[in-house]
Amino acid sequence: MTPMTPKSLAARAAGILMSLSSLPGAHGIGDLGPEAHRFVDFLASSGQSWWQTLPVGPVGRGNSPYDSSSAFAGNPMYISLETLVAKRLLSKSQIEPVPTLRVRRVNYSEVTRYKEARLRRAFRTFEKKNPSDRGQFDDFRAKNVVWLADFGLFAALKRAFGGAPWNSWDRDIRIRKKASLRRVRAKLKREIRYQEFLQYLFESQWQQLRARCGRRGIGLIGDVPYFVAAESADVWANQEVFHLDERGRPTIVAGTPPDYFSSTGQMWGNPIYRWGTLREREYDWWVERFRGTFRRFDAVRLDHFIGFHRCWAVSGKARTAKHGRWVPGSGKPLFDRVFRILGHVQLIAEDLGVVTPEVRALRDDVGLPSIRVLQFAFGKDPDAENHKPHNHPKNCVVYTGTHDNDTTIGWFTDRKTNSTTRSKADIERELAFALRYLKSDGHEVNWDMIRLAFMSVANLAIIPMQDFLGLGSWARMNVPGTEHGNWEWRISGRNLTPSLTRRIIAITETYGRLSGSPTVRKGS
């Protein structure tokens, strides 16, 4: 079968938003194994062109994929144990799941304990048996040394220091004195190699999945968080490009001002870039970040795009994000540099939030599609008019909701006011207007919203998997501003039925979004 290349973002198409962690499987969390390949087949059979994921790096505070310890590394929990059995690094008996892992939500601490033990066993087997792919491992290490050497050392040091923050480590290691780094590299050689081995497994399995996507005509859309975690290899290894004090503590941190989601704003806590220093270095760190990302993905959503124009900065000692100031971002020169080095890679601007004319001008100067969210179209959101389908431009991506929204069923049925700036009367007016706009009786409001998204002139419509399944708030992925109970939802393999496939492909075909003939993929 001749591989198909996915449509470009300029083609009329549709796709599904679902995190890798949400896939079904026997080991407590979705992974890159057989179920991921089956989901690709489901997408293709349903006439979809794109699979959009959440960030795929190691998770951070509150198990958030947007607070990762690395902007380059993959999450080892996504490594498929079944694939390691096929590689003879584990036996079938060694991957028998415990009953508590057979659940519909991810228990991150238990999954980590379970998989970590088996991944270390696989590493011992790999080292003892000297398998034929040892050379491939060495090639991987050499090709990725620009980030892997620091990440492997960082991960090994975190373990050696009992998980303590890097800015509390021994001073010479904290400030990266060369002699001290050479000493700890020698001392932690085996643990560093193990951490690099995990990244090798992740990347090998990822590229197998991407090849399956290519054969089935499915494009992969990734997600690049604008900020990185303070507790990350990126900050430790590149301290000069962040606003830190002499102890490595952020002097100003990122957040958002009060908005639709919170009356006190959102306190993210991520350190803020020193763009002047990055400009002097020709944005080298960002170029490498994009280079690594596009080895995995065909297009990338830029989370918090407004940060490239300006970001909300709060004192590192503040408790909420209510009081802060706007500080400038990189502007267009960063994108000029990225396009010059990597070609015109496909980017999507997540331009939600406090969107000023300057943010729109930057987005349009760079030539990026914007985002429209139907759940924002009917209420008091300041940008509501732009989210209404009759105002959509072609060069945009329309969603019923994103990972930060409630599911459509949850949005329609939830009348609580404590999580947003809306009053009960606001909510009632919003939903009544939505029903009038949708010409809906509310019986299948999720499918009415999907139909509205597919009808839009927007080039691309992306629907969260929860909305295709008609799930309520219990299946919500994230509640902004909270740190517990998020990122846990998982699908059941039984949900991906032939009747659902038929219904998705019918609505996709009706509105001219059916996966079509091969096209040339930009940025390849």
Catalytic residues: 303, 350, 404
Q: What are 508-514's contacts with CB under 8 Å, separation 24+?
A: 508/14, 508/46, 508/47, 508/48, 508/454, 509/47, 510/454, 511/451, 511/454, 511/455, 512/12, 513/12, 513/13, 513/14, 513/47, 513/49, 513/454, 513/461, 514/47
Q: How many C-beta atoms surround the C-beta of residue 417 within 10 A?
A: 13
The residue behind tokens 């069923």 is 409
The residue behind tokens 């939505």 is 434
Name the DSSP letter for residue 487: S
The pairing of strands 310-315 and 252-256 is: antiparallel
Q: Phi-psi bin for 200: left (phi > 0), alpha (psi -120 to 50), beta?
A: alpha
Name the DSSP letter for residue 92: G
Spatial contact of 219 and 521, defined as CB atoms under 8 Å apart: yes
Tokens of 100: 């508590």
Name the DSSP letter for residue 77: G
Which backbone phi and psi does 267 adopt, to 5 degrees? -100, 105
Among 296, 288, 234, CA closest to 74? 296
How far apart are the C-alpha atoms of 97 and 119, rounded to whole Å? Answer: 14
Spatial contact of 226 and 303, defined as CB atoms under 8 Å apart: yes
Output the CA angle 221-226-230, nearest 5 degrees: 125
Assign 212 to helix, strand or coil.
helix
Q: How many C-beta atoms surround the C-beta of residue 435 within 10 A?
A: 16
Spatial contact of 233 and 69, defined as CB atoms under 8 Å apart: yes
Tokens of 244: 């830190």
Spatial contact of 322 and 262, defined as CB atoms under 8 Å apart: no
DSSP bridge pairs for 266: 256
Roughly what angle, to the nearest 10 degrees, separates helices 178-187 and 145-160? 70
Give CA 244 to chain center in angstroms: 26
In a 10 Å sphere around its CB, with 0-12 CB exposed, 13-18 middle and 19+ buried, how is residue 101 labelled?
Answer: middle
Assign 432 to helix, strand or coil.
helix
Name the DSSP letter for residue 63: G
Spatial contact of 263 and 99, defined as CB atoms under 8 Å apart: no
CA atoms within 13 A on the CB side of 494: 1
Among 50, 19, 58, 48, CA closest to 36? 19
Q: What is the DSSP string of 360-428?
A: HHHHHHHT--EEEEGGGSSSS-TTHHHHSGGG--SSEEEES--TTSPPHHHHHH----TTSS--HHHHH
